[in-house]
């Protein structure tokens, strides 16, 4: 079985490899990738095993080939189509982030309610939330981003699931319920901050 952590790290390696490629570097060793990823060489090699790609003991990994291997393994060739629900301050930041610089990640439609809808924000059409099902019916979108207030999050999540979405990225600070055939990831800023605050207090004790 392949773990969430391995998948996350593969995604990171993929990104790191593309930056190396931009610098016209051809080969890389596991120790170098580990260094860039704040990880260890053994971890990198173990992660890369799942892709089936094999490096060369003398040169390391051929960057071009490894990029392709990771893309094939993770299905990154086609890019990711997404919808966004909630075009408030966070939603707008996300829209401006993805458009137009990140062509691999495509927000194909956004939804809000009332007078916040029926507009175009950062190149993306904003529909009324009531149109979610009809608009999605025409698309082959796998992922939805939830950026509405906590009180509305469960409702829009359920709507997304019923519309055939299979992955949810939830920014609202509650733990929404999804059917078992939907993958859910919460990005909870309050939790993240309290965690950092806790470890920061501890880290402050260590030397250097």
Ligand X SMILES: NC(=O)c1ccc[n+]([C@@H]2O[C@H](COP(=O)([O-])OP(=O)(O)OC[C@H]3O[C@@H](n4cnc5c(N)ncnc54)[C@H](O)[C@@H]3O)[C@@H](O)[C@H]2O)c1
Which neighbouring-strand residues pair with 139? none
How far apart are alpha carbons 107 and 146 in whole angstroms? Answer: 12
Contact 82, 144 (CB under 8 A): yes
Q: Report residue 193: phi and psi, to 5°.
A: -65, -40
Q: Choose between 67 and 85: whose C-beta lies nearer to ligand X.
A: 85
Give min distance, CB of 62 to DNA, in A: 10
Element (H, E) at 169: strand 167-170
Q: Which stretch binds a second copy (CB under 8 A): 20-28, 50-58, 126-134, 190-198?
A: 190-198
Q: List the one residue from 28, 44, 67, 82 that touches a second copy (CB under 8 A).
A: 82
Q: According to the binding rule CB under 6 A, does residue 123 interact with ligand X? A: no
Contact 124, 146 (CB under 8 A): no
Contact 128, 112 (CB under 8 A): yes
Q: Report residue 118: phi and psi, to 5°.
A: 60, 45
Q: Choose between 134 and 149: whose C-beta lies nearer to ligand X.
A: 149
Judged by CB under 6 A, the number of residues near ligand X is 27
Q: Which residue has the tokens 């930056």?
A: 19
Q: Choose between 139 and 155: whose C-beta lies nearer to ligand X.
A: 155
What residues make contact with a second copy under the rule CB under 8 A?
A: 4, 7-8, 11-12, 14-15, 36-38, 74-76, 80, 82, 89-90, 92-93, 96-97, 102, 105, 142-143, 165-169, 173, 175, 177, 179-185, 187-208
What residues make contact with ligand X under the rule CB under 6 A?
A: 85-91, 93-94, 96-97, 111-113, 116, 129, 147-150, 152, 155-156, 171-173, 189
């Amino acid at each position: 079985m392949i773990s969430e952590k391995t998948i996350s790290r593969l995604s990171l390696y993929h990104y790191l490899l593309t930056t190396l490629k931009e610098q016209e570097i051809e080969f890389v060793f596991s120790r170098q990738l580990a260094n860039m990823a704040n990880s260890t060489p053994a971890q990198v090699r173990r992660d890369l095993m799942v892709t089936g790609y094999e490096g060369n003991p003398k040169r390391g990994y051929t960057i071009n080939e490894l990029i392709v291997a990771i893309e094939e393994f993770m299905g990154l060739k086609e890019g990711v189509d997404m919808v966004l629900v909630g075009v408030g301050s966070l939603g707008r930041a996300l829209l401006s982030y993805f458009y137009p610089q990140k062509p691999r990640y495509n927000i194909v439609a956004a939804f809000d309610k009332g007078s916040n809808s029926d507009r175009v924000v950062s190149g993306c059409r904003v529909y009324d939330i009531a149109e979610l099902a009809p608009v999605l019916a025409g698309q082959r979108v796998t992922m939805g981003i939830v950026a509405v207030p906590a009180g509305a999050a469960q409702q829009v999540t359920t709507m997304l699931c019923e519309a055939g979405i299979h992955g949810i990225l939830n920014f609202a600070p509650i733990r929404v319920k999804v059917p078992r055939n939907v993958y859910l990831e919460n990005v909870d800023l309050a939790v993240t901050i309290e965690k950092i605050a806790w470890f920061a207090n501890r880290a402050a004790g260590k030397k250097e």
